[in-house]
Amino acid sequence: MIGALDVSTSALVAQRTRLNTISGNIANISTLQDENGDAKPYQPRYTIFQTDENMVATGNAPGVKVSSVEIDDKEPLYRYQPDHPLAVKEGKWKGYVAYPNINMNEQFVDALEATRSYEANIGVMEISKSLGSQSLSILA
């Protein structure tokens, strides 16, 4: 039973990281400059999970952990705004401003999926806790 709690806890931590990554993407949907002030749009991030063989529950069910948070190298979205101070000055995109290529609908669906997974793991933990409590009351 403790293994089931450990596996669910690992999933909660992983989904929290995923939600933090998604919220960072949404928060930076209009960020046009990097930390140095250069005209470089924010690049969205995404979370990669992997099984955690060090955490195994009954029935050899492994836990999960965050393998990495990757930067998406999508081409930015360009909008023609020649008077904008961050507009490209020369080349193919002259007069265009580069915006982050973040699909808000995709981010919301990912956040909803992560939230549902988070809730499901809390449900598993509640059931495990209830089973343990009932087992102890039977033995007492």
**Residues 105-123: tens digit of each pLDDT:** 999 999 999 999 999 999 9
pTM of the complete model: 0.83
- 6 dihedral zone (left: phi>0; alpha: psi -120 to 50; beta): alpha
| Domain contains 32 | yes
Does 47 map to a domain? yes
What is the tally of structural domains in the chain? Answer: 1
CB 33 within 8 A of CB 86: yes
Torsion angle of alpha carbons 136, 10, 111, 127, nearest 10°?
-10
Range of the domain at 11: 2-74+105-139
Q: Assess if residue 99 is contained within a domain.
A: no
Asked if residue 121 is part of any domain, the answer here is yes
User: Tell me: the pLDDT tens digits for 63-96?
Assistant: 889 999 999 998 999 999 999 999 999 999 999 9
Q: Evaluate whether residue 120 is within a structural domain.
A: yes
In a domain, 83, yes or no: no
Torsion of CA 4, 10, 13, 14, to 10 degrees: -120
